[in-house]
Amino acid sequence: AQKVTQAQTEISVVEKEDVTLDCVYETRDTTYYLFWYKQPPSGELVFLIRRNSFDEQNEISGRYSWNFQKSTSSFNFTITASQVVDSAVYFCALSEPDSNTGNQFYFGTGTSLTVIP
Partner 1 sequence: DSGVTQTPKHLITATGQRVTLRCSPRSGDLSVYWYQQSLDQGLQFLIQYYNGEERAKGNILERFSAQQFPDLHSELNLSSLELGDSALYFCASSVRDRGLQETQYFGPGTRLLVL
Residue 117, C-beta contacts closer than 8 angstroms, at least 6 positions apart: 15, 84
Segment lying near partner 1 (by CB under 8 A), choices 19-27, 62-70, 73-81, 94-102: 94-102
CB atoms within 10 A of CB 22: 17
Q: Is 62 in the site for partner 1 (CB under 8 A)?
A: no
Stretch of 8-16, 17-25, 69-77, 96-104 contacting partner 1, by CB under 8 A = 96-104
Contact flag: residue 61 with partner 1 (CB under 8 A): no
CA distance 106 to 109: 10
| 50 lies in the site for partner 1, by CB under 8 A | yes
